[in-house]
Amino acid sequence: MITNPEIQSVKQRFGIIGNSPHLNHAIQVAMQAAPTDMTVLITGESGSGKESFSKIIHSLSLRKHGKFIAINCGAIPEGTIDSELFGHEKGSFTGAHEARKGYFEVTDGGSIFLDEIGEMPLGTQARLLRVLENGEFIKVGSSKVLKTNVRVITATNVKLLNAVEKGNFREDLYYRLNTVPIFVPPLRERGEDMVLLFRKFTSDFAEKYHVRPISLDAEAQAALMRYSFPGNIRQLKNIAEQISLLESERDVDAATLAKYLPSDNSRLPMTLPSLGKNSDSSDFSERDLLYKVLFDMKKDMNELKKLVLETYQNGGLNQNIIQKHQGLFEDLDSGFGTKESTESNSSYVPLVIDSKKSNSTNDEDYEDDAIEDIIHEEDDNSLSLEKKEKEMILRALRKHNNKRKYAASDLGISERTLYRKIKQYEIDQ
């Protein structure tokens, strides 16, 4: 059994800060898996520190004197990833002026870390499965079978089972990779570790630039721990360095800290329910975008239900009801819902509800029936998800002066997905 002093020793060796039970458990699993050759799948949100665990596993293994290479599968173009991983022969494709060894050949006897494994193309997944099962691979443009002895460690920030259900990831490869699962907790689940990490980053900054380190008072520390940090450790480090650079007062209170914590009211929950096998969305990021649109529609629908119920209970529309639900009418060209328009348009037609349904003994049942009538009448004006998606993309591009990198980050999707959407909707930049 691995003891706590051993875990603390590993933390010091690899620069891991924190005492969260979830973090300690992840380190313990990594230490137990290290001496074996079993494949490891590290899961966790982007920026949570997954690569550090791959280094722990390699450094504590019998392969520690062999080579270690970290590869980001999402950063390699689909047309060249086979060549990068498995090598190619001279003349096998345009630009192949000489033979090249791939990473699996170069790291023979060592370890290879495949980050963002969910981005790997299906054809490459089949090649990887063959390596995992019998250590064999074939270079691009060759028919000769080569052997390699490589320990494979993988990581992902998405749920691979969802990708399996949609046919974007091989089921047999998923179970082959998931021999030893390690979950790296997001920063928001690590409690006081946030304060320890903040102190570490500000101390590093102060030492590097010879300034007094930033310190947080009790209220600021509490505010820091309440923030969700969607960017995890990377985001916390950026904020710590911003405050260290820009604040002349080195004792920071909650009000000052709040200026550096972006509002995350519009941020979607990081864990979203699966849409199932019949989903039309092509990847997780696009599903994020669709859920945001659906949540906005649901909010408007709930507001509309309240409006219908209050109208029924008060015997018709009146100025007070309209002003109370003014958010429903803000985007109407007629200006309906403003004080000025309600006063000038005193001959409006009140909403009429079928009296047959007024016999319902349950207000919620009646409310649902009334909404159903409205939905049937408004079918022709139903919102288009594609239209909403396009509007959001245009808004993000305008906000960031057509810089796709920052627009994609604002939308919560990859730059590659944004580029594909721009082409799909024929958006002129």
Residue 421: what pLDDT? 85
Which of these, 398, 397, 387, lies nearest to 418 by C-alpha position?
397
| pLDDT, tens digit (0-9, with 9 covering 90-100), for 141-162 | 999 999 999 999 999 999 999 9
CB atoms within 10 A of CB 142: 15
| pLDDT, tens digit (0-9, with 9 covering 90-100), for 69-114 | 999 999 998 889 999 999 999 888 888 889 899 999 999 999 999 9
Q: Report residue 283 as tokens.
A: 């990847």
Which CATH architecture is the domain 189-258 placed in?
Orthogonal Bundle (1.10)
> Would you kindly state where each structural domain of the chain is located, as residue ranges?
4-185, 189-258, 309-381
Q: Report residue 53 as tokens.
A: 């665990």
Q: What global pTM score does this model have?
A: 0.61
- Return phi, psi of residue 180, to 5°: -125, 105
- Out of 1.20.120.330, 3.40.980.10, 3.40.50.300, 3.30.300.210, the CATH code matching 4-185 is 3.40.50.300
Residue 41: what pLDDT? 96
- Return phi, psi of residue 182, to 5°: -130, 125
Spatial neighbors of 96 by CB under 8 A, at least 6 apart, are 83, 88, 89, 90, 140, 141
Strand residue runs (E) in 26-144: 40-43, 68-72, 111-115, 136-138
Q: How confident is the model at residue 396 (pLDDT cuts 50, 70, 90)?
A: confident
- Of the two residues 142 and 318, the one the predictor is more confident about is 142
Look over the chain and give the mean of its residue pLDDT values, rounded to a whole number: 81
Is the pLDDT assigned to residue 68 strictly greater than 90? Answer: yes
Is-contact 182 22, C-beta < 8 A? no
